[in-house]
Amino acid sequence: MIAPVRSLKGCDFIDLADLDRAQLREVLDLAHAIKAGQWSERPLDGRHVAMLFQKPSHRTRVSFEVGIARLGGSTTTLTENDVQLGVRETIPDAARVLDCYVDGIIARLRSHEDLLQLSGASDKPVINGLTDRSHPCQVLADLMTLEEVRGDLKQQHLAYIGDGNNVANSLIEAAAITGIALTLISPAGYEPAADVLERARRIDSGTPRITVTNDIKAIDGATAIYTDVWVSMGQEAEREARRRAFVEYQVNKDVMNAAPGAVFMHCLPAHRGEEVTDEVIDGPRSVVFQQAGNRLHAQMALLAELFAR
C-alpha cells in the first residue's frame, strides 16, 4: 500500500521544482493509486482549506473542492471581492488571519510575488493554484496523463507550441526534473523567460533536454503536442497584438499530421479556432479531458502528501 511522502508534510507547493525527482515520483504513484481505487484514506479529516481566487477558475476550483471533500476535509472559497488581498489589508495580515482559522491555503493570484509573500507569512501549507509565473498543479496532472497514455516520461518528447507563459514555465520545470525532452516553440518575443530556463538547467536530472525555437516545424518525433491560449487571463489588452503574433502557431491538422505519433494536450480552457482547431481538440489523439480529469487525482495525491498525519 502506498503511503504519503513524509518529507512533504507541512510544505508549500509553489512550483514543481519544490519537489525533487523522488518526491515527484511518489506524488505521481499516489495519484495513479487514488485513480485506480487502491488508496482511499482521509488525511484531511477535520481539516479546513481556504481557496483564494483573484482570477476565474473552473477546473482548479472544482477539482480542489471535490478532492478535499473526498479526503475528508472542507473548504471555504473566496473570490476577488471577498478578501481583496493587498487592498483591504496587506497580504501578510491576511495570511496571519487565515492561519487562525484554516489548515492550508490554495491561492490563484495575479502576481507570483504576491503568492511568495502569502506563503512567507503563512505557517500553513500554501498551494499555487496558478499565478502569472507558473501553474504547477496543472502540470502534475499533465505528467500523470502522459504516463497513462505514453508511459515512461524519460522516453517522451513534448513539443509545446505557443506562449512562453505560466503553463510553459511549469512544463519546463517538469522536463528538468523528469528528463522529458521538451521543445518550446513560440513566436519571437513570446519565448519563455530566460531565468526560468536557467533555473531549469540547474535542476539536477542529468542533462535537461530543453530546446527553445521559433520554428513550428521543430516537432519531429514528438510524442505529445501541447498548446495553451494565446491570451492568458489578465492579458486581454494585448489580445489583438497577440492574435497577430501567434497566427502561424495554431495547432491544426497539418501540425498533427507532421507528428503522427503525438497525442494532443491542452490545459483548458481552449480558445477554439485560435490556438487549436475543433478537429484537433475533438480528434482521436486529443487527451485534454483526461488531463482535466486527472487534476482531481493528482491534487488529491499532492494534498495527501502536504497534509500527511
Q: Which residues are catalytic?
A: 108, 135, 138, 228, 267, 295
Q: Choose among ligand CP, ligand NVA, none what residue 299 binds, the Cβ cut-off being 5 to 8 Å by kind.
A: none
Binding mask 123-162 toward ligand NVA (x if CB under 6 A, else -) reads -------x--------------------------------
Which residues here bind ligand CP, judged by CB under 6 A?
Answer: 57-60, 130, 138, 267-269
Grid coordinates representing 28 are 505521481
* H or E element that contains 227: strand 224-227
Q: What is the DSSP string of 124-162?
A: S-EEE---SS--HHHHHHHHHHHHHHH--GGG-EEEEES
Minimum CB distance to ligand NVA smaller for 8 or for 16: 16
Give the span between the Cα atoms of 114 and 99, in whole angstroms: 17
Q: Choose among ligand NVA, ligand CP, none what residue 58 binds, the Cβ cut-off being 5 to 8 Å by kind.
A: ligand CP
Check: CB of residue 219 under 8 Å from CB of residue 183. yes
Handedness of CA 200, 27, 289, 66 (dihedral sign): negative
Minimum CB distance to ligand CP smaller for 77 or for 205: 77
Check: CB of residue 110 under 8 Å from CB of residue 132. yes
Of the residues 106, 118, 126, 267, which one makes contact with ligand NVA according to CB under 6 A: 267
Of the residues 186, 223, 232, 299, which one makes contact with ligand NVA according to CB under 6 A: 232
Give the span between the Cα atoms of 141 and 295, in whole angstroms: 5
Q: Which of the ranges 11-19, 42-50, 165-173, 191-199 carries the binding residues for ligand NVA, by CB under 6 A?
A: 165-173
Contacts to ligand NVA by CB under 6 A? 130, 165-167, 228-229, 232-233, 267
